[in-house]
Structure 1
Amino acid sequence: MSQALVSARWDAEYREGRYAGEPPLPFVDRILATIHASSMAERRGLYIGCGNGRNYLPLVRSGLHLYGLDLSAEALRQLAAREPALAKRLICTDFRTFVSRCRFSYVIAIQVFQHGVAADVAGYFAGVGSLLSPGGLFFLRVNAASTQVRRPHTVIERNDSGGFTIRYESGPKQGLPVHFLTRDELHTLTRNDFAVVAEPREGVAVRTPPETGHWVQWEAIWKRLDGKSAWRGRRNGP
């Protein structure tokens, strides 16, 4: 999956008004409630795929000390224009190559860890394990395999857990791989480094007519285990 191609596609989407005026997802309220209950609001967090701020800004405005990471320079330009004071907290890079000299108390990834093939997804989860402090929280919203995929596509891989990857043949993600996960796959990806705080649950969204079918997203919360750390000494970020 070419970083340059993905970045260019998302830049175009944001220039055309992607997420403009859309309200934050309800998952934002769960994130805030969990972080405040854990007394982590003033600690350093990382939002992966913050985009132009649809969900990121409500979190920051509620008092979180949250860095935002995205590979779309256009999205971050729009976000910084909305909240100039946050510009120093914004990082333009692909999470697969992101490095940091510090660990975070919580990491948030909303509708971003589905981009790529299964190996990319596994790398995302390993990266979160590396960046979280022991006891740190991981908030995830991601594609579920029970989604009814309607746009023309080709299935390019399946795994033993029932997850699968498609390549879209049309639309804004044409040519890009997108992965859909099962509950068993989430368990496999988290069992070594994380403990469940909130079990994965599916949220179903019915498509707006004339489109048919439904889109399904997992939402879950985990805690980084205090045992042997996956920390690999990343050194070049905030």
Structure 2
Amino acid sequence: MQRTVRTIDDVMTLLDGLSASPEGDWWDRFYADRSHEVPFFVAKPDENLVSLVERGLLPPGRALDVGCGPGRNALFLARNGFQVDAVDLSATAIRWAVERAEGLDIRFRHGDAFETEGSYDLIYDSGCFHHLPPHRRVGYLALLDRALAPGGHFGLTCFTDEEGTSVPDAELYRTGLAGGVGYTPDELRWIFQDLTEVELRRMTEEPPDSPRFGKSFLWTALFTRRVQ
């Protein structure tokens, strides 16, 4: 009988199956329909990201957009002077993003963001982290440790504990992610304790005609990496 686990990668794959988290083909099906009624999927950058740039808290530099989807935040960053690398598990989303990014300084890549190499002044994640099962936080933190430059910023938008599944980690392997993991502010501070908090707040609810996306069921956070 063939055993399942021999390496750390085997452990991760086994736990992926137990957690039933969305994979690339699920997101391909999601992004295949371009008639989404909610326009933030394509056109609107996050209100918190716009606010951070307008307040001068995120000066232009090299940025990584993790789980970029059709590129709504990547396009905003590039239009504001950033050199952007943007990664997503969905090839369909990446093709859509490339169509919309002509002339902008963005390098889109279909693949696993955890495999990204390089040094970034900004790593931004809108909606990727809360879809990760608990064991994949290890690789996420390793990415930040490897790729976030000293003095660089990490921006995050994720489910509150009111919106996502909010149970002990062990329970997630019994129930599945059920749409995403919800966090409290203290949990986010604990997970990202190696970074310095700049701000952590509820996202501002934006009206339908706003040029920015904002939903109050999300946390927005900005952390910075200490300069050694």
Q: TM-score range by the shorter chain?
A: 0.7 to 0.9
- Cα gap change, 1:21 to 1:68, in 2 (>3 Å): closer
Letter of the structure 1 residue corresponding to residue 67 of structure 2: G
Matched residue, 1:62: 80
Contact 2:78 2:105 (C-alpha < 8 Å) held by counterparts: no
Alignment partner of 1:10 is 2:27: yes
Equivalent residue number for residue 196 of structure 1: 197
The one-letter amino acid of 1:11's match is D
Q: How big is each residue's C-alpha offset from its partner over 1:138-194, in whole Å with a ceiling of 9 and x where there is no partner?
A: 1111111122x6xxxxx695149xx9686366xxx6xxxx22111121111111x21
Q: Deviations over 1:71-102 (max 9, x none)?
A: 11111111111223458611111223x131x2
Alignment partners' CA distance in 2, 1:89 and 1:69: 9
Amino acid at match of 1:94: D
Partner of 1:79: 97
Q: Is 1:94 matched up with 2:112?
A: yes
Cα distance in structure 2, aligned partners of 1:66 and 1:95:
13
SS in structure 1 at match of 2:70: coil
In structure 1, the residue matched to 2:154 is: 138
Change (3 A) 1:99 1:59: closer
- Which residue does 1:180 correspond to in 2? 182
Aligned position for 1:128: 144
Unaligned runs of 5+ in 1: 150-154, 209-213, 228-238
Secondary structure of the equivalent of 2:139? helix
Which is helix-richer, 1 or 2? 2
Map of 2:176 onto structure 1: 167
Residues 87, 195 of structure 1: alpha-carbon distance in 2 compared, 3 angstrom cutoff: closer
The TM-score, its normalising length taken from structure 1, stands at: 0.71
C-alpha separation between the residues in 1 aligned to 2:32 and 2:227?
43
TM-score by length of 2: 0.74
Offset of residue 223 of structure 1: 0.6
Identity %: 24
RMSD: 3.3
